[in-house]
Amino acid sequence: MLFAPKEKGQGLVEYALILVLVAIVVIAVLMLLGPIIGNVFSTINDSLSTST
């Protein structure tokens, strides 16, 4: 028991890796769907401004 494993640092690294992977997935989805969502909002805005 002289060299007890320190798992607190390992757990922190694992959580950081999961957070980085989630961030990468969110950024990729937003880059793919961003223009589509922007076009939807532009269409809605145009239809609201022309109807009044």
Radius of gyration of the chain, Cα coordinates, nearest whole angstrom:
23
Task: Compute the distance between CA of residue 20 and CA of residue 32 in angstroms, rounded to an integer.
Answer: 18
Task: Name the pTM for this structure.
Answer: 0.59
**pLDDT computed for residue 5 by the predictor:** 61
1-52 pLDDT, tens digit each: 555 566 666 788 899 999 999 999 999 999 999 999 999 999 999 998 886 6
DSSP state of 4: -
For 18, other C-beta atoms within 10 Å of its C-beta total 10
**pLDDT computed for residue 4 by the predictor:** 59
**pLDDT computed for residue 6 by the predictor:** 61
